[in-house]
């Protein structure tokens, strides 16, 4: 059956409700082929679908829950829109940040994130998991509040030495005499 859906498929029980999990194995730009096939076979309405995707316009470590809207030039979402015939489905937007220059976007989304960014993204995923029961129960306002108010941990301030120096640069070594 996984071939029929062009992806890895699992069924899970969350809060007593059966949920389908799908990881498309197509090229990202053809994700809709996978999502559409599963939705059509199991007669899943678009508004019962949650697509988790990377988001340039959200900083690493943040996640945003959104219903509907445009594909915002995200080719995977564009294909999902086309296959479902609508943009009216839920999206969990995981921030990957923007490279700052439009010409670098393609390289940015295809390369592995820096260690610090990867850790922030992983933290956002873990924090978002706490909202899954509310998502599955259809308590979208509650899930939105849980996701949007779950803040990434603050970066630790640089370690300061007792003399007030941050340990870097000149002037940090004790002097005698």
State pLDDT tens for residues 65-93. Answer: 999 988 877 889 999 999 999 999 999 99
33: pLDDT strictly greater than 70: yes
Return the CA Rg of the chain: 21
177: pLDDT strictly greater than 50: no
On whether the CB atoms of residues 127 and 150 are closer than 8 A, the answer is yes
Bridge partners (DSSP) of residue 51 are 91
pLDDT of residue 167: 46
Q: How many C-beta neighbours within 10 Å does residue 14 have?
A: 13
Cα separation of 24 and 27, whole Å? 8
- Give me the residue spans of the domains in the chain: 2-100+110-149
- Predicted confidence band at 151 (pLDDT cuts at 50, 70, 90)? low
Cα separation of 47 and 151, whole Å? 27
List the CATH code of the domain at 2-100+110-149. 3.40.50.1470
Least confident of 54-58, 99-103, 147-151, 168-172: 168-172
On whether the CB atoms of residues 49 and 84 are closer than 8 A, the answer is yes
């Amino acid at each position: 059956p996984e071939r029929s859906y062009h992806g890895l498929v699992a069924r899970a029980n969350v809060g007593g409700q059966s949920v389908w999990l799908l990881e498309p194995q197509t090229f990202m730009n053809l994700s809709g082929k996978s999502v559409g096939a599963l939705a059509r076979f199991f007669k899943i309405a678009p508004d019962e679908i949650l697509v988790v995707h990377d988001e340039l316009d959200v900083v690493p470590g943040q996640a945003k829950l959104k219903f509907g809207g445009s594909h915002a030039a995200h080719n995977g979402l564009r294909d999902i829109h086309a296959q479902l015939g609508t943009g009216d489905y839920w999206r969990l937007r995981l921030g990957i940040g923007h490279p700052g220059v439009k010409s670098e976007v393609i390289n940015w989304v295809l390369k592995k994130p820096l260690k610090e960014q990867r850790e922030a993204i992983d933290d956002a995923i873990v924090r978002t998991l706490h909202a899954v029961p509310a998502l599955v129960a259809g308590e979208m306002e509650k899930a939105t509040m849980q996701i949007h108010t779950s803040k990434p941990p603050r970066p630790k301030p640089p370690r300061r030495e007792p003399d007030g120096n941050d340990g870097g640069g000149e002037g940090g070594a004790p002097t005698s005499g």
